[in-house]
Chain A
Amino acid sequence: MIPSKIQLDANGKLKHFLTIEGLSAQILTEILDTAESFAGVTEQQVKKVPLLRGKTIVNLFFEASTRTRTTFELAAKRLSADVLNININTSSAVKGETLLDTLRNLEAMHVDMFVVRHVDSGAAHFFARHAAPHISVLNAGDGRHAHPTQAMLDMFTIRREKGPDFGRLRVAIVGDILHSRVARSQIHALNILNTGDVRIIAPKTLIPADAESLGVRVFHNLAEGIRDVDVIIMLRLQRERMQGALLPSEHEYFRLFGLTEERLELAQPDVTVMHPGPINRGVEMASEVADGSHSVILQQVSNGIAIRMAVMSLCMGRSA
């Protein structure tokens, strides 16, 4: 079975949004265009449109999150939907009801959409496969597998900065690719949008097996990897990774893979620097870079709301 098929309805329209993999450039572009129309809404005095009035959206988070959950919530509210936030500590879920029971119970409350974050790869697919036919499922991050709305807001940000032609772009993703669902979704999105050169940069301990098969070039040297690139996406390095045998120290990581103003010189003069947040200043990048003129980190956050509005309305069959 092709995992992406489950996301589309009989007419090839988005029904669930679980992964970027397998979607067409046309669908991705539709999401970006729809988000563009919503970006206007969020800048108005009255930041609401009535598209999803009367609909109920459940944010079902089995993993802690502030930023992602908040932007999903704001997106739903700006579409006039009713929003329910449920945070379930995974350990208590293990003791209590099964995931399927949780799903059935919420379904019984006549909800229309689930936004799911879960520590297991494939959790959003599991929900989509077992949910009632009228319900849409949005993946807000499943294990190391996918975080498709994050990837789309990054594409949106890149398109706004660099224009619609991804073919001429060189994009480098730096950091913990192995554990990153964000990176996997970004790589799929960049390739589907036909990006000229997609690179990943990290020591071998943070690169997944057969990474080239994802459609990237692999670098272990930051200077080589970011040479002449148009976009640099830095990934968050989880502190707990320092305790395993993955990396010797934060100090050495920053020395080898941290983004500094000096290293930024190697990229294109108009390079755009991105980070999905939250940043570890002095580990992934120097503060001067995070706050510098090339950084669009805060725009990413604003764009996240427009993208989530777009995906929510498209999955519910409403366009702006």
Chain B
Amino acid sequence: MIERILIQGGHVIDPANKRNDLADVAIAEGRIVAVGQAPDGFTADRVIDASGKHVIPGLVDIAARMREPGLEHKANIASEAQAAAAGGITTVCCLPDTDPVIDTPAVVELIRRRAKQAGHARVVTLGALTQQLAGEHLSEMAALKQVGCCGVTNLNYPMLNTQVMRRAMEYAASFDMTVFIHPEDHALSNQGCAHEGPIATRLGLPGIPSAAETAAVAQHLALIEQIGVRAHFCRLSAGRSIQMIARAQYDGLPVTMDVAAPYLYFSDLDIAGFDSLCHVRPPFRSQQDREALRSGVSRGSVGAICSDHQPHEADAKLNPFPSTQPGISGLDTLLSLTLKLVDDELMTLDEALERVTIGPARILGLDGNGVGSLTVGKVADAAVLDLQQPWEVTTETLYSHGFNTPVMGWQLKGRVSHTLVDGRMAFELE
């Protein structure tokens, strides 16, 4: 077993430690022992030649469906944890809408055990805010925290009423847990499947107005202010939501937010041919909304970019648009789509990497262990990549079991050659 690894001659970028220079990274017993020069007497069992490449902290993905337990016909923990590692992701946060729902410690343990057997990326979990995600009875949040859940969420399953939401937030705050909010007013989103605007009007698709999100953002902000709970807003789609939450941040509320990478590239224009690969929830909104999301990511008010990985079997997308299942398979492309923002001159490489490393690590409360950074003495999660290496998104190049992505056929840049999780090799490009 290789325990001492030296990553030699690479260009290290570590936004958490504000590092951006040529440096060696020495790893022993799962921890980083040096960044710069290896300590005297350090002998490596294995040397990775990273010359001409970049060495970065392993990516942290706030939101990925691994589909296990319960939906293994779509994907499983082993397949998706491998896709994550191949994409430079070392920590994946699994969402609670599994079957059974992650509302008891047993399910958390099951997922942890499967991930450990698979031996690729580290898999962490968010627990359900309410039992069965049914929105009525609080889950045993303290127990979920004890077994390692990074927070609690009801995803976009409706809460019975605002009183239940208030109580759930208060209860979570009692145990210093972050509540992850998918803002959606279900009465407004109704049976919709596309952004309410000229494209949905033309296609005759039932619309989801932007207000379905912004009204929920406003309501949740009011509760957060009252209660003082730490909250994270997930998968925002409307530009106005970003403004509202950025304003709340400015006013000192403990709120953060993320967007999923595809929302930085697609808009409702892309559904014009009834392309079911662009059927997502919340829906891709207008081009102005997309620009506002990009601007939020660039300014840093949006602290994390995630994959919002939702792998599907082919049949799930083979139907008329409204009857297809929403979601995009995204683990394989998170890194490259984030790097593309640098090519688009939206932000620097350091800033872009921050949004997928230390940014999400802080939101999940994992930064203290060194997740999302290359900090000496902390866990050794790292990726070695060639920033310029082109690759085409095809069914052959994707590791995920889900091929449902509208970036299929795109030429992207940035290929990972090595991924280390806890100091062990989780992926190595052949």
Contact = CB atoms under 8 A, between A and B. Distances in A.
Nearest to A124: B320
Given A1-B272, A2-B272, A98-B319, A121 B198 contact: no
Given A2-B272, A100-B318, A209-B207, A120 B202 contact: no
Contacts of B318: 98-100, 130
Contacts, number: 84
Nearest to B273: A1
A262 interface: no
B201 interface: yes
Contacts of B209: 209
Contact of A143 (B201, B205, B273, B319): B205
B272 A122 contact: no
Contacts of A121: 203-205, 274, 320-322
B203 A211 contact: no
A238 to B, nearest CB: 15
A143 B198 contact: no
B197 A120 contact: no
Contacts of A142: 204, 320
B29 interface: no
B200 interface: yes
B205 A122 contact: yes
A181 interface: yes
Interface string A139-171: 000111110000000000000000000000000
Contact of A145 (B205, B273, B275, B323): B205
Given A3-B273, A98-B315, A209-B196, A123 B320 contact: yes
Given A1-B272, A209-B197, A210-B197, A126 B319 contact: yes
A99 B201 contact: no
Please classify how large the interface on chain A is, using the bins under 10, 10 to 19, 20 to 34, 35 or more: 20 to 34
Interface string A83-105: 00000000000000011100000
Contact of B322 (A3, A122, A146, A214): A122
A3 B321 CA distance: 13
Contacts of A145: 203-205
B203 A120 contact: no
A2 B202 CA distance: 12
B148 interface: no
B313 to A, nearest CB: 12
B321 A210 contact: no
Given A1-B275, A143-B322, A122 B201 contact: no
A209 B320 contact: no
A50 to B, nearest CB: 35
A209 B200 contact: yes
B158 interface: no
Contacts of A98: 315, 318-319
Interface in B180-238: 196-198, 200-207, 209
Interface of A: 1-3, 21, 98-100, 118, 120-123, 125-126, 130, 142-146, 181, 184, 208-211, 213-214
Interface of B: 196-198, 200-207, 209, 272-275, 315, 318-323
